[in-house]
Amino acid sequence: MWYVLKVTEGKEESACETCRTTFMNECNAGVFVPYYARPYHRDGEWKEIMKALFPGYIFVDTDKAGAETVRETAMKRIPHTAQPVCVGDEFVPIYEDEQRLLESLMDKDHVVTVSNGNIIDD
């Protein structure tokens, strides 16, 4: 299940590293930043830049027991870095259908890649 933590926008990767280090000692949770590849044209050639898909948020992949550990750890040890996104007072995962949709769009590195289209007959 994927849970969400609110972090400072633009500091997603450093917050992710802090959380990885902290949570690995407490529970086996995967922490990642979802990205998307954005193409741009410069100096006559196309390039890609990686942008945060959800600026200001990082995701934690863990089970219910791990989520409680993540929530407690985040609130006690790194409150200035990451805040659990809760509904009421409960730290809940994103909906399963939303997670499946995001997983279908992302590659193994949690990146939504550029899709290509072909123009046929003008």
For residue range 23-70, list pLDDT tens digits in order.
Answer: 877 777 889 999 999 988 888 898 899 999 999 999 999 998 888 888
The overall average pLDDT reported for the chain is 90
DSSP label at 100? H
pLDDT in tens, 60-102: 999 988 888 889 888 888 888 899 999 998 999 999 999 999 9
Q: Which of 106, 92, 101 is nearest to 62 (CA)?
A: 92
Count CB-CB contacts under 10 A for residue 66: 19
Interatomic CA distance for residues 48 and 25, integer angstroms: 35
- How many helices (H) and strands (E) are present in the chain, helices listed first? 3, 7
- pLDDT given for residue 94 in this prediction: 95
- Token readout for 18 is 């802090």
